[in-house]
Chain A
Amino acid sequence: MAAPGQLIQLIESFVSLSRSPSQQAASLDTIASLVKNDVLTMKGLVREMEMYLTATDNVIRARGILLLGEVLLSLPSKPLDNTTIHSLMEFFTDRLADWKALRGALVGCLALMRRKSTAGMVTSSDAKAAAHCFLQDLQVQSLGQHDRKLCFELLECLLERYPSAVAPLGDELIYGICEAIDAEKDPQCLMLTFHIVELLVRLFPDPSGPLASFVGDLFEILGCYFPIHFTHPKGEDLDIKRDDLARALMSALSSTPLFEPFAIPLLLEKLSSSLPFAKVDSLMYLNSCTLKYGAERMEKHAEAIWLSIKDAIYTSLQGPALSSTSEYLDSLGFQENEIAREALALLQQVIMQNNGLFLGFIIKDEDVNMILNTVTHYERYNDIPSQGKLKLHAVGCILSISTKSSITSCNRVFESFFPRLMEILGLSVRNSSGVHSPNDNHLLSKRLNFGVLYLCVELLSAHRDLIAGSKEIASQYVSAFETCYCMLQSYSTSLTKAFCSTLATTPHDAHIHFGVKGLQILATFPGDVSPIPISEFEKILITFMSIISVNFSETLKWKLALKALVNIGSFIDRYHESEKVSSYMGLVVEKIVSLVSLDDLTMPFPLKLEAISGIGTSGLNYMLNIVQGLEEAIYANVSEVYVHGNLKSAEITVRLLECYSNKVLPWIHDNGGNEGVLLRFPVNIWNQIESSVDFSVQVQEKELLDAMMTAMRHAVAFCTEESQNKIIQKAYSILSLSTSFPLKEFTSLTIPFQLDWRQLTQRIDNLSHRDEWILLLFASVVIAVRPQTHIPNVKGILYLFMTTLLKGYLPAGQALGSMVNKMGTKSSGSEISSDCTLEEALDIIFQMKLWNQIHSLCSGMANGSEMGDTDLCPSVANNRLHQIHAIAGLSWIGKGLLLRGHEKIRDVTKIFLDFLPSNNRMDALPLKHHSLENSFEHDLHPSVMKSAADAFRILMSDSEVCLNREFHAIIRPLYKQRFFSTMMPILQHLIMKNDSSFSRSMLYRAFAHIISDTPLIAILSEAKLLPILLDCLSMLNKDIQDKHSLYRLLLVLSGILTDKNGQKAAIENARLVVNCLTGLIAYPHKMLVRETAIQCLVAMSELPHARIYPMRIQVLRAISKALDDPKSAVRREAVRCRQAWASLA
C-alpha cells in the first residue's frame, strides 16, 4: 500500500497547473498502475480525492474530476463491482450539469459506458439517467471543439451500446440530438454527427414512429453539408479527408427512405452544378440512395433522374485524348472521366432496379433516336463532326450499359435497336439453308457505315460481357431462347462477313479497329451460347491469320489482328472449349510455327518472332506447341551452322535464341512452368554438339555463341535441381570425352603440382572451335545451376576453369565465381573423390597462385619453392595478358565470395591491393629486400595495375550475366555496405601513405569503383571520405576513357550534396568541392558530367552564406563559360546556377 502522503503528492502533481504536461501524465500513469495492481482500490482513490472532487475552486475541481475520469479511461479491463460502477456513474452523471468542470465528467461517463461486460458494465437505468441528464443540461454547440467531440462520442456510445435504454426517451432524444449537431463545423465532430444520425435512424425504424416528425429538421441539418466542400489545409486533421466525410454523409443520407422527399430533389439540383466534384458526389449519392430507398419511392423521380444522367454524360465527355495508340478509338477519342463513369454506374443501378421504366425512357428518348436517324450520314470516322462524335459516343455508352444490366434489358435493347442497325448496314437474316441471297455480296461490296458499325460493336460487346460474366445468365439464356440470342444468331453469319469485308477493303484506322473488334467479340462468346457455328469461328481465325502473314506492312491492322488472336486464344483456353481450341491450334498455332521454320523471306523475321511469342502468351498449351516449333527451328539452323558454316542461318539462330530466352522462357516460368520443356532445350543442344563431331564453323560466330550461352543460362536457371543434375551430367560427359580437356589427369593431381599442371595446360593452348563451344556452354551451365545441384568432379573442373581462364575465357572465371558462391561449406556426405568442400576448393584456388605464376617465373624470382622455368615463360606481352586474365577471373571468384560473405574475400582483396603499387610496403621492408621489391614493382605493367584496380568494379557492381538472384546466387544482405566499410579504412590509409602520383591514381580508381556502387546511405555516415572523393574526381577528369566512372562518382557527390548529413561534410570542405566542380564544368567528353556538375553547384548555393560567399566570384566566373556551352541542357542549368549564386550577394 502506497503511503497516503505519496498518493496525495501524485494527485497534487496532476491537479496543479504549474506542472509540465509530461509530469502530469507521469503521475496519472503511476496512479493508474497502482489501481491496476490492486495496491489501491477505486474506492480508496475516491476517498483520498474527496476534497479535490468537491472543491469549490473550479480549476481544482475540474482537474480532480478529470483525474478520476482519466484513471478510469486507462483501466478499461480492470474488473470493478457493480456498486462502484453505479456510484461512479451517478457521480459523473451528476457532474454533467457542472459546466465548469465538464471535461472530467464526459471522460468519466465515456470511460464507464465503454466498459466490456466482463469487467463490469453500466446498468441500463444508469445509462438512461445519463442520457437524460445529457439532453437536459448540455448545450453542446456552446462548448469547445474537444468537449464537443467528447459529447458526440458519448452520444454515439449511448446509441450504439444502450439502444434499449435510450429508445424510450423518444422525441426528447431526437430533439436533443438535432439541437446538439446543428451547425457543427469541425471535421472530426462531423464524422461523429453523421454516424450519430445513422444510428438514430436505426433506432427508430418505424416510418410513422417518433422520427417521422423530425425528418425534415434532421435533413435540413444534414443537407446543408452537401456537397462536402472541404478546405482544411493539409497538415491539420491528418486522418480525415474529404472522401471520408463525403462517404459518412452519404451513408447518413441514405440511411432511411424517409429522407427521400428531401434528398432526391436536392441531389438532382446539385447535379446541375458546375462544380465537378458536386456532380460526382451527387451521382454517387443518388446511386446509394436508389439502392436504399427502394424502387417504389424512386419511381416518381425516374424521369428526372434519367434526364440528369443523360445530361451528365453529354456534358462531361471531354475533347479528344492526345493519344496516338488505337486504344483511344474504343471511346472515339474521348477521355474516360469520373463524372461519366459515375453517371453510367447510376444508370446501371436504376435500370437494374426498375427495368421497364428506364428502358422505356431510353427507347423513347429523342436524342437516342435522333442519333439513329442521323447515323447514316456518318460514313467515315474522319467525316463526323466532333459534336456528332460526342453524341454517338454518349449513345454508345448508354446502350452498352443498359445492355449489360440484365438479360431482360439486353432483350429489350436488342429488340428495339438491333434490327434497325442491321437494316442500315444492309444485312439480311441468315436463311435456313445457309446459302446467302444473291444480293448479299452486292451489299457487302460497299463500305460499312462507321456510325452503325460502332454502335453495333458496342452492343455486341456489351452483350458478350453480360453473358460471359455469369454462368447462370448464360444457361438461362440458352434454355429460354431469349430474343437477343435468336436475333444475334440469325444475323451472325452476315455480320461476320461484313466485318471481314470491312477489314479487306478499308484503309481507315477507325474502321479497321472496329472491324477487328467485332470479329473478336463474335469469336469470344462462351461455347454453348455462341451465336456463330464453329465453321464461322474458323473463318474468323483464317481472316486474322491471313492478315498476319500477308498484310504485315499495315502496322496497325497487323498489331490489332495479333492482339485479337491472342485475346481469342486466351478466352477459349480459359473457358476450356476443346473444339475451338483444336481449331485454334490447327489454324493459328501450327500456321505460325510453320511461318518461322519456313525459309520464307517475304515476311520480316522480327515480325514473325513477335507474332509467335505473342500467340504463345495466350495459353500454356499453345506455348508448349510453339516452343517445340521454335526449338526445332533453332536446332535446324544450328546444325546448318555447325555443318556448313552458313552465315545466314547463324543470324537467324541468334534472333531465334534471343526470342527464346527473352520472351518465351520467362513466360513459361511465370505461368506454372513445364519441367519437360525447360529440360528439353539444354539437353538437345548438348546432344547436337555431341553428334556433330566435325565442327566446321569456319567463321568465328561470336554473336551466335553469346546468344547460345544466354539461352542456355536462362533455360538451366529455370529448371529444378533434378533436371539441372541431368543437364550437368550430360554436359560433363561430353566435356570429358573431348581430348583437349585433361579432366582425369587434373583429378589425380596433388599439391604441390605446379610442374605437372603446367604441362597439362599446354594442351589447352590450341582449342578447336568445337572444344571452345563445349567449354563455354559448360561454363554457362555451371553459372546457372542451383546451390543444391551436384557438380561432378569439382576439382577437375576447378583446374580446368582456372587454366582456361588464363587463356582469356572470361565465362570460366564467372563459372568459378558461381561455384565458390554456391558450394557447401562441409562435405555433403557422399564419398565421391571429386566432391570437395568450399574450403578445399579455395585451398586449390589460392595455392595455384594463378596471378603471380607467370610473373614469378619470368622475373626469375623464387617464390617459395618455385623454380625458374624459362621454357614456359612466353613473351613479356603475353605474360602481361595472362596476368590481366588471371586478375579478371580472380575478381569474379572474389565476387562469389563477397556475395556469400565469406572471410576469404580479405585474401582476394589483399592480392588486388598488392598489385596496386604502394611505397609504404617498401618502407616497411628491410633495406635488403628493397631492390627485389622494387624490381617486382617495376615489372608490373600499368595495364595490369589498372585491371587490378578495375577488379573492384566487378566486385561491387551487379552483373546480369551471373551471380545474381536469377542464377540462384547466395547473396547476403548488405554485403556492399559491409565491404565498403572494411575497405575504406584500408584504402584511405594507403592513399595517405602514398605519394607517387601514378600509384595514387590507381588507388583512387579502386576507391571510385567501390564508392560508386555503395548505397548512398552508407556513404553519408562516412563524412571524412569527401576529400578523397574529390581527389578521385580530379584524377578521373584526366582520361577520356574514364568518363563513365567519372559520371557515376559525380552522382555520388550530388547525392551527398542533396542530403542533410552530407551537407555538413560539404560545409567543411566547401572550397575543395567548389574547386573540383568548377573544374568539371568544362569537361569536354560527356554532357551529363557538365550538367550534373552545375546542378551540384546549385545545390552548393544552399549552404550557409558565410561559408560559400568567398567562392562566389570563382563560381560565377566558371559559370559564365558554361553559358556558352554547346548543349542547351547545360546552358539551362548554367542559367539556374548563375541566378542562384548571383543572388547570394
Chain B
Amino acid sequence: MTLGLINANPVVHAKKERVARTEDLHGDDAVDPLEIYDFVRDIRDPEHPYSLEQLSVLSEESITVDDKLGRILITFTPTIQHCSMATVIGLCLRVKLKHYFPPHYKVDIKVSPGSHANEESVNKQLNDKERVAAALENPNLRQLVDECLYSNDL
C-alpha cells in the first residue's frame, strides 16, 4: 500500500479552447484524431482533480486514426516515470472508447516511448483482452475507473 500521492505536485496546463467545427452538410465526416480527443480529454486523472488534458497526459497529436483499416492508436504520457497509475489511465481510455466508439475499431493504447519505467509490461497489460476483462471484474478497480470517467469535479 503506497502512502500519499505518487506524483504529489503535477504540472497543470491550461485547457485548450474547443474548436467548433465547420459543419459540412454534404458528404460524410470521417473519424479524426480530434474527435477521439474530444471524447477522452475530459477523463479525470485517478489521483488529481484535473483532466488528462490539463495534465498533458494526452494531446491531439498523440492520437492516430486509420479510418479505412479501422485502427486507432492512442499514445499517452504518464506524468512521472514510475507512475503506477499508468495502467489505470490506460484502462480508463479503453473503457471509454469501448462504450462510446463503434466496436469495429481496433484500439491500441500505449505509453509513449521512454516515458515509463516498465514501458513494455504496461503496454502488454493494456492490450491484453483477458487482462483488461479481468481488471474490470475487480470491483475496486472498476469503481476507480468509473469515478474517473463520470466524475463531475473537473
Contacts and interface: CB of A to CB of B under 8 A. Distances in A.
Contacts of B103: 1120
> For the side of the interface on A, what is the size category?
10 to 19
A396 B94 CA distance: 58
Interface string A944-978: 00000000000000000000000000000000000
A1138 B98 CA distance: 12
B150 A1143 contact: yes
A1131 interface: yes
Given A1131-B35, A1135-B39, A1143-B150, A1126 B29 contact: yes
B99 to A, nearest CB: 7
A1087 interface: yes
B61 interface: no
Contacts of B100: 1123, 1135, 1138-1139
A1127 interface: yes
Main secondary structure of the interface of A (DSSP, over half): helix
Contact of A1128 (B25, B35, B99, B101): B35
Given A1131-B35, A1135-B39, A1143-B150, A1126 B28 contact: yes
Nearest to A1121: B102
A1142 interface: yes
Interface in A1078-1136: 1087, 1120, 1123-1124, 1126-1129, 1131-1132, 1135
> For the side of the interface on B, what is the size category?
10 to 19
Contacts of A1128: 21, 29, 31, 35
B128 interface: no
B153 interface: no
B104 interface: yes
Contacts of B29: 1126-1129
Interface string B22-39: 010100110100010011
A21 B114 CA distance: 74
B48 to A, nearest CB: 22
Nearest to B29: A1128
Nearest to A1127: B29
Contacts, number: 30
Contact of A1124 (B21, B35, B99, B102): B102
Nearest to B102: A1124
B28 A1124 contact: no
A1139 B23 CA distance: 23
B51 to A, nearest CB: 16
Contacts of B31: 1128, 1131
Contacts of A1131: 31, 35
A1123 B102 contact: yes
Contacts of B38: 1132
B143 to A, nearest CB: 14
A1131 B39 CA distance: 11
Contacts of A1087: 25
Contacts of A1138: 99-100
A1124 B70 CA distance: 11
Contact of A1123 (B21, B25, B101): B101
Contacts of A1143: 150
A791 B102 CA distance: 67
A332 to B, nearest CB: 25
Interface in B71-117: 99-104
B25 A1142 contact: no
Nearest to A1088: B25
A1124 B39 contact: no
A1135 to B, nearest CB: 5
Contacts of A1126: 28-29
Nearest to B101: A1123
23 contacts: A1087-B25, A1120-B102, A1120-B103, A1123-B100, A1123-B101, A1123-B102, A1124-B102, A1124-B104, A1126-B29, A1127-B28, A1127-B29, A1128-B31, A1128-B35, A1129-B29, A1131-B31, A1131-B35, A1132-B35, A1132-B38, A1135-B100, A1138-B100, A1139-B150, A1142-B99, A1143-B150
Interface of A: 1087, 1120, 1123-1124, 1126-1129, 1131-1132, 1135, 1138-1139, 1142-1143
Interface of B: 21, 23, 25, 28-29, 31, 35, 38-39, 99-104, 150
Give me the 6 closest cross-chain CB pairs, A-B, nearest first: A1126-B28, A1124-B102, A1128-B29, A1135-B100, A1123-B102, A1127-B29
Given A1120-B103, A1124-B104, A1131-B35, 10 more contacts: A1087-B25, A1120-B102, A1123-B101, A1127-B29, A1128-B35, A1129-B29, A1135-B39, A1139-B100, A1139-B150, A1143-B150
